[in-house]
Structure 1
Amino acid sequence: MRQKVWITLLCIFVQVNLIFAFPKVEGNQDPLRALDPKAQRQWVDSVFNSMSFEGRLGQLFMVAAFSNKDQEHVEEISKLIQEENLGGLIFFQGGPVRQAKLTNHYQSISDTPLFIAMDAEWGISMRLDSVLQFPKQMTLGAIENDELIYKMGTEIARQFKAMGMHINFAPVVDVNSNPENPVIGYRAFGEEKKKVAQKALAYMKGLQDHGIMANAKHFPGHGDTDADSHFTTPVIQNSEKHISEIDLYPYRQLIRQDLMSVMVAHLHIPSLGTTSKLPSTLSKNVVTDLLKDDLGFEGLIFTDALNMKGVSQHHKPGEVDLLALLAGNDILLYSEDVPRSKKLILEAVKEGRISEEEIDERVRKVLRAKYWAGLNQNNPISTDKLVERVSTFETKALIEQLYAASITMVANKGDFLPLKNLDLLKMASITVGDGGGTFQKQLDRYGPFHHFTLPRNSSTGTYRALQENLKDYNTIVVGITDVSNNPKKDFGIKESDMYFIKNLSKKYNVITVLFGNAYAAKFLEGMPHVLVAYEENEFTEKIAPQIIFGARPALGSLPASVSPDFPAGTGLELEPIGRLGYSQPETQGMDSRVLLQIDEKVERAIAKKSTPGAIVLVAKNGKVVFEKAYGHHDYSQSRQVTPKTLYDIASITKVMATTQILMFLESRELIDMGDPIGKYLPELNKTNKGKLLLKDIMAHEAGLVSWIPHYTQTLESGHWKKGYYSDQEKRGYSIQVAKDMYAMNTLPDSVWKWTIESELRPLPYGKKKYDYKYSDLGMYMLRRLIEKVVNQPMNEFLEQNFFEPLGLYTLTYLPLEKYGPEDIAPTENDQIFRKSTIQGYVHDPGAAMLGGVGGHAGLFGTANDLAVMMQMMLQGGNYGGVNLLDAKTVKEFTQRQSDQSRRAWGWDKPEPEPDKGGGAGKLSPKSSFGHTGFTGTAVWADPKNELIYVFLSNRVHPDASNNSLLTDDVRTDIHDIIYRSLKEQ
């Protein structure tokens, strides 16, 4: 008995799921039904009865309209609307606002509401300027997650509604089984019928679920052609059985799910009874017998554009419209002569070739569809901020997600990718073609690259010269750009270029990225590491390097077979290895509109001359979502700040250098934070510093005075004391302190002596432990400790063990050894000590006297550099597949150490009591850690929200006494703006 119950329940479960999957039986669809059928019927009857029979004929025509043409075109369309009672318009090239204004005008003069349509397979940017472009269907075919395609359909539907449009002539459901197809190709989802159907269904539902009519095309299937129906009539020799099993498969699936409209192609298919002069669009066998009767389709049937040579070469305007109507089409698209067409149709009615009843039935279908689309109500389009409303921040985020999900790894010999051990790689890039600028800039974020270009017209001499230039590199990233969609011209790929790249791969680690048509990947067979990016644009050029370096996974698979080595479905898994990526705020749950308030805050600070320029960076969940450069290097405005501008990060050096090394040593049990510093520096045991514990020094609770102006001991009456400095490098004076200023070689020893001889602060009355007081002096001593333990200068140790493995070639001491002054923001115009404007030399006088390498100051870098370091911290000391620090040590160093202050070991923390101020924003969780710098810098990481904030400026230029950046709370206010942008809050 129980078994029977379970069987019964199982049967019910299966039936319910089948009903959910296929809610209607094939041949019994009513896709044009509205939510209120009675109201729909009443409106249709009312409009239908208000028109004469000749007036009704106009509802079967849609003509082409443009918003980039002159007034004569507008008047021509207006005349057709008023005199012929047109059913609708299909808009082509123009702009959003211009089209919206024309749509309002055309609707206002039409007695019957107009259908407004667009052929927008990859969104309205296919036709309009100033609009973001969605991926093409071959790119979408590479995506495994069809939910993303549904979201794309949803977003395109939203854009259509904002533009007052009702029909999108998409998706293309052709199964592209012919790689030589000149017209479909990249416009198809691929060659596998089930995947084409799945993805087309997702696109269709995204549109129709949100009020926009989808249109499946090009019936009965344009996928196996080698000719373009825009210019001729393609012939398909496939059998009826083949067409039924392959080409019609997606239509059956979409029809079951309430597909609302179909577009019939101009094809000659002998097995379906067409002729060269009566192709599929004009064939009753195809339109009526096959589509309507056999497949049971009851939605609207559109012709393909009737101006295309596939039909127009055999029939005059007007005649072709009549033939299409007789074949069973409902709407005649891109009619070139509506008055003549109507005249011929009326004659055909008189001759009995078609009845009034047949035409009226189609007119009613059109009106029912118009009611479904909301045309029973008059809703003029608002042009206020229309461009911004069409392409939103969310639009851009979705487009990024689509491209990121499509890019496909088709070859990865020896699992070389993602790239690891960056310190062992000498990297160069080659861009084949004239594009790739964004690609090169994105590669630069991950390590030092030398970039080369290989123009399409390269000669033997060009190849030879390039090969000579590459001899010092071992890893070469090749970006193939300017790829066309023409298979007859090898997609623009030059054989000699591929021969050159393949030869390089025999000597070097060559990674090739194809920015273009997937079918062009056949020319990359045999190459060891190949990434197919499908299209060339800002998104793909930014995402591909992230995959190469392990910041993102490779998720796509080839939607079509491009060669024996690269069959359909090829797609190698490539997991990320924890490097920083780059994304849109909305992909990470943040609001770009709120983040834009940062602009106002920084620009106000610049206008007030709190700083001449700044950089702000925000990262969330391992992705940089905001990075902007503001202002100029100085107030002369001679050079703009860019994300590559290097800043003196001042006391952030404490946590980016000294603290990092101490964590490194603690992780490896080479030091113990509970030890006295004298254990590692015995010379301190004879001073008042020997018993100071490392943990107390790092928490600023060791009794050290806040700082010592060492430089004053080398000045007398405002001038350099004799013997300390020289205005040129010479024997005994090799330590450069500033431009035209060299210190005697023994000056660092003097600085050390003055430091360790300094007095400690008195102990608070009745206490055995010093209270908190922020001090630089501990970092002087800890630098000495570090260099003794590692037996190496601190800057060299950092380069080898942190910066080079992390790819941070711009985070550095002594930046003028690598960069020109023009790459570095100046700091103070120091007329007291160095008698010059400081640019490229450390601002802190004590660090300058040590030759520019201090434990407390001296590092220069970009915002991206600091973000990488902080991301490594958030990941417990792991980055790019390398364990630099122990996670336990990271946690220990970044937690609050006592009840005397908010401080951790080296790191600053938010104030426990928000009203007390501090370096962090008031909304920052107590688990956050970071630091600020005297020059106007800040860096913060929040483990709870996986959030990073970097602020770089040179507020001390030209005068360090300018403190308005601090008093106006610029850095902390920006930190709070970032938290307000979190959507979950």
Structure 2
Amino acid sequence: MRNYLFILFGLFCLIGFAQKNETKPLLLPVGSSLQVGSLADYELDSIAIYSKVDSIITNGIKNNAFPGAQILIAKEGNIIFHNAYGFHTYDSIQPVALNDIYDLASVTKILGPLPAIMKLVDEGKLNLDLPLSTYWKPWRRQKDKASITLREILAHQAGLEPYIVFLSRTLKNNDRFKKRFIRSTSNKRFTNEAYDGIYVKNRFHRKMYRIINRSEVSEEKKYKYSGLSFLIFPELITQLTGMPYAEYMQENFYKPLGMKTFGFLPSTKNFSSKIVPTEVDTIYRHTLTQGWVHDENASLLGGISGNAGLFGTAQDLAIIMQMYVQGGIFNGNRYISENTIKEFTRVQYPENDNRRGLGFDKPYLDNAQFTLANAYPAPEVGASSFGHSGFTGTFVWADPEQQLIYIFLSNRVYPTRKNRNIYDLNIRPAIQQIFYSAFDRSKQHNH
């Protein structure tokens, strides 16, 4: 009996000791899926954090930076902060919900064509240091493009034009559509739906490719952001895989990762969650854009593109960003090799004053030396961190050193894209910095 009591007493001591030392969850095994955690798990002052974030967001809404926003933070595979603020529009009718679906705009670049390109590099079907013309044959005939490598293109080091407004090719002087390109009803030659009652000629994408193929290339090779190649990547991916790009992404990434709302053309799917509206469009659709891609170039491709067109929830974004942070593995499945992810997320041309990775955006080269007002993104992000922003007011960032993911979703283009207060007020880096500072304080406190 005495032995039994002694064992019991020992067990109680052990449990007590374990509880006392359980100040934060263990780092998840590599390849795990996301868990729900809390700020308290990391001994963070949740009252201070919530009030600081609230104050920045409230100020943003008050100054019409956006009608509403959503923030998700994951640390070591645990979602420790996920909150929604404000409304879909300034009339305050529809509050932002945690499962709302957003138009991700240019964030599409790193979650659409880029994972496919990484996988094709892994499979030896693409080589970063061969000219793109090896795979995209029309460039063989273009003197200024024949030798440009895929690496230069992905690092925005190729001298390509930043953007071409293809919409202008479809409009007459009076802003009416040219019937040979766009119709208000569909038929066999016009099946690409760009919006309710706007059908683009099926072969219009060929005209877009031709214009891109013939576009000018700057002789000076320096950092110049260009989205042009991302308009042709989906066709290239289709050619190399023998599978339509959207279907390839769904089957190889979004579905196996468990990203339930992620993909193109959300208005064609019966989602119960709401799709946040973007702009009240005055030049093209002449109505509020909701459930259809905001970017006109992606729209003219029927909503499926590499430069924009993806929609999804914050949770979906967190999944694929966590896969990147975990070196290409998630929930026990490998999607991309670790070496390839490291290669794509490192700075490619620092000697050229170019901060970019391959497709991924990176912090300023001397980011840690800048103040919050001048840094990009927050000054404390790790040098190995990466992400991308989107024109509609979206932003994703992953920091492998800190095992930290930051997702900011908003519709800053509502009601108009002229609204630039999200940038002027430096809202997204300021919120990111709150969490870095909180972890710093927690570390100091524990030491």
Say whether the fold is shared (TM-score over 0.5). Answer: yes
Aligned equivalents of 1:706, 1:581: Cα separation in 2: 39
Shift of 1:919: 4.2
Residue number in structure 2 paired with 1:197: 9
Aligned equivalents of 1:793, 1:205: Cα separation in 2: 56
Residue number in structure 1 paired with 2:253: 802
Residue number in structure 1 paired with 2:33: 579
Structure 2 residue matching 1:720: 3-state secondary structure = coil
Residue number in structure 1 paired with 2:338: 887
Superposed, 1:508-519 pairs within 5 Å as none
Q: CA offsets per residue over residues 158-189 of structure 1, 9 Å max, x none?
A: xxxxxxxxxxxxxxxxxxxxxxxxxxxxxxxx
Structure 1 residue matching 2:435: 3-state secondary structure = helix
Superposed, 1:776-815 pairs within 5 Å as 776-815=227-266
Structure 1 residue matching 2:443: 3-state secondary structure = coil
Structure 2 residue matching 1:836: 3-state secondary structure = coil
Q: CA offsets per residue over residues 406-428 of structure 1, 9 Å max, x none?
A: xxxxxxxxxxxxxxxxxxxxxxx
Q: CA offsets per residue over residues 453-486 of structure 1, 9 Å max, x none?
A: xxxxxxxxxxxxxxxxxxxxxxxxxxxxxxxxxx
Aligned equivalents of 2:252, 2:14: Cα separation in 1: 49
Residue number in structure 2 paired with 1:510: none
Superposed, 1:335-414 pairs within 5 Å as none
Residue number in structure 2 paired with 1:642: 97
Which of the residues 412, 422, 428 maps onto 1:965? Answer: 422
Amino acid at match of 2:64: K
Instruction: Tell me if structure 2 keeps the 8 A contact 1:705–1:759.
Output: yes
Number of residue equivalences? 431
Amino acid at match of 1:720: F
Residue number in structure 2 paired with 1:696: 152
Which of the residues 366, 382, 397 maps onto 1:913? Answer: 366
Residue number in structure 2 paired with 1:934: 391
Residue number in structure 2 paired with 1:37: none
Which of the residues 52, 55, 60 maps onto 1:605? Answer: 60
Shift of 1:906: 0.4
Instruction: Tell me if structure 1 keeps the 8 A contact 2:30–2:329.
Output: no
Residue number in structure 2 paired with 1:729: 186
Q: CA offsets per residue over residues 37-60 of structure 1, 9 Å max, x none?
A: xxxxxxxxxxxxxxxxxxxxxxxx
Distance 1:589 1:675, change over 3 A: farther
Distance 1:898 1:924, change over 3 A: same
Shift of 1:193: 5.6
Structure 1 residue matching 2:112: 3-state secondary structure = helix
Superposed, 1:765-784 pairs within 5 Å as 770-784=221-235
5+ unaligned residues in a row in structure 2: which ranges? Answer: none
Structure 2 residue matching 1:838: 3-state secondary structure = coil
Shift of 1:690: 2.9
Shift of 1:929: 0.7
Aligned equivalents of 1:886, 1:576: Cα separation in 2: 13
Superposed, 1:646-795 pairs within 5 Å as 646-687=101-142, 688-716=144-172, 717-761=174-218, 763-764=219-220, 770-795=221-246
Structure 2 residue matching 1:905: 3-state secondary structure = coil
Bigger radius of gyration = 1
Instruction: Tell me if structure 1 keeps the 8 A contact 2:99–2:273.
Output: no
Amino acid at match of 1:984: K
Aligned equivalents of 2:375, 2:272: Cα separation in 1: 33
Residue number in structure 1 paired with 2:88: 633
Aligned equivalents of 2:48, 2:416: Cα separation in 1: 32
Shift of 1:757: 1.7
Residue number in structure 1 paired with 2:402: 945
Instruction: Tell me if structure 1 keeps the 8 A contact 2:31–2:329.
Output: no
Over aligned residue pairs, what C-alpha RMSD do you find?
Answer: 2.6
Distance 1:872 1:958, change over 3 A: same
Instruction: Tell me if structure 1 keeps the 8 A contact 2:154–2:358.
Output: yes
Q: CA offsets per residue over residues 671-713 of structure 1, 9 Å max, x none?
A: 1100111111212211243321100000001111110000011
Q: CA offsets per residue over residues 334-371 of structure 1, 9 Å max, x none?
A: xxxxxxxxxxxxxxxxxxxxxxxxxxxxxxxxxxxxxx
Residue number in structure 1 paired with 2:443: 984
Shift of 1:787: 1.6
Structure 2 residue matching 1:756: 3-state secondary structure = helix
5+ unaligned residues in a row in structure 1: which ranges? Answer: 1-25, 27-191, 210-393, 406-550, 553-574, 765-769
Residue number in structure 2 paired with 1:378: none
Instruction: Tell me if structure 2 keeps the 8 A contact 1:588–1:620.
Output: no
Aligned equivalents of 1:693, 1:589: Cα separation in 2: 48
Q: CA offsets per residue over residues 610-662 of structure 1, 9 Å max, x none?
A: 10111101011111100001111112222111111010111111101111111
Amino acid at match of 1:617: L
Instruction: Tell me if structure 2 keeps the 8 A contact 1:594–1:981.
Output: no
Distance 1:924 1:594, change over 3 A: farther
Aligned equivalents of 2:429, 2:118: Cα separation in 1: 27
Aligned equivalents of 1:618, 1:949: Cα separation in 2: 5
Distance 1:732 1:586, change over 3 A: same
Aligned equivalents of 1:602, 1:804: Cα separation in 2: 33
Aligned equivalents of 2:210, 2:272: Cα separation in 1: 33
Query: Percent of counterpart pairs with the same letter?
Result: 33
Instruction: Tell me if structure 1 keeps the 8 A contact 2:121–2:128.
Output: yes
Instruction: Tell me if structure 1 keeps the 8 A contact 2:31–2:326.
Output: no
Structure 1 residue matching 2:73: 3-state secondary structure = strand
Superposed, 1:272-351 pairs within 5 Å as none
Shift of 1:197: 3.2
